[in-house]
Amino acid sequence: MLKKWRLISLFTILTLVLAGCGEPFLSTLKPAGEVADQQYFLMILSTLIMVVVVIVVSFIFIFVIVKYRRSRLGEDHMPKQIEGNRNLEILWTVIPIILLLVLVVPVVAQTFSQADTKPMDKKNRDPEKTLVVNVRANLYWWEFEYPDYGVVTSQELVVPTDERVYFKLKASDVKHSFWVPSAGGKMDTNTDNDNKFFLTFDSKKAEQAGEYFYGKCAELCGPSHALMDFKVKALSKAEFKQWMKNMENEKAKPKTDLAVEGEKVFKEKNCLSCHATDSKDQRAEAARTAPNLATFGERSKIAGVKDFNDENLRAWLKDPESIKPGNKMTGTYPALNDKELDALTEYLKGLKTQD
Ligand code: HEC
Ligand SMILES: [Cu+2]
Instruction: Tell me, in angstroms, the distance from the centre of ligand 1 to residue 148's CA.
Output: 26
Backbone angles phi, psi at 80, to 5 degrees: -60, 130
Task: Please compute Rg for the chain using Cα positions.
Answer: 28
For residues 293 and 277, the answer to whether their CB atoms sit within 8 Å is yes
pLDDT in tens, 283-297: 555 557 889 888 898
Q: What is the position in ligand 1's atom list of the atom closest to the CA of 340?
A: 38
* Fold agreement (23-65+85-249, 257-349): yes
For residues 196 and 30, the answer to whether their CB atoms sit within 8 Å is no
Name the residue at shortest CA distance from atom 18 of ligand 1.
140
Between 88 and 331, the more confident residue is 88
CA-CA-CA-CA torsion for 158, 160, 162, 168, nearest 10 degrees?
A: -60
Write down the domain spans for the chain. 23-65+85-249, 257-349
Q: What is the position in ligand 1's atom list of the atom closest to the CA of 265?
A: 38
Between CA 13 and CA 19 the distance in angstroms is 10
The band of 237, judged by pLDDT with boundaries at 50, 70 and 90, is very high
Backbone angles phi, psi at 140, to 5 degrees: -125, 60
**CATH class belonging to 257-349:** mainly beta
Q: What pLDDT does residue 6 have?
A: 82
Work out the mean pLDDT of the chain and round it to a whole number.
Answer: 88
Look at residues 87, 114, 97 and name the one whose alpha carbon lies nearest to residue 49: 97
Q: What pLDDT does residue 257 have?
A: 86
Check if CATH label 2.60.40.420 holds for domain 23-65+85-249.
yes
Between CA 227 and CA 224 the distance in angstroms is 5
User: Best of 155, 275, 308 to mutate for ligand 1, by most ligand atoms within 8 A of CB?
Assistant: 275
pLDDT in tens, 299-353: 889 998 899 999 999 999 998 988 998 888 876 788 888 899 999 999 999 888 7
The band of 72, judged by pLDDT with boundaries at 50, 70 and 90, is confident
Instruction: Tell me, in angstroms, the distance from the centre of ligand 1 to residue 245's CA.
Output: 26
Between CA 321 and CA 344 the distance in angstroms is 18
pLDDT in tens, 99-143: 999 999 999 999 999 999 999 988 888 888 899 999 999 999 999
Distance between alpha carbon 26 and the CA centroid of its chain, in Å?
8
Q: What is the position in ligand 1's atom list of the atom closest to the CA of 224?
A: 18
Say how many Å lie between the first and final Cα of the chain, rounded: 64
Q: What is the pTM of this model?
A: 0.86
Q: Is pLDDT above 80 for 249?
A: no
pLDDT in tens, 267-283: 888 888 888 888 776 65
Q: What pLDDT does residue 18 have?
A: 64
Instruction: Tell me, in angstroms, the distance from the centre of ligand 2 to residue 170's CA.
Output: 12
The ligand 1 site (C-beta within 6 Å) comprises: 140-141, 154-155, 266, 269-271, 273-275, 289-291, 296, 299, 302-304, 317, 324, 327-329, 332, 334, 344, 348
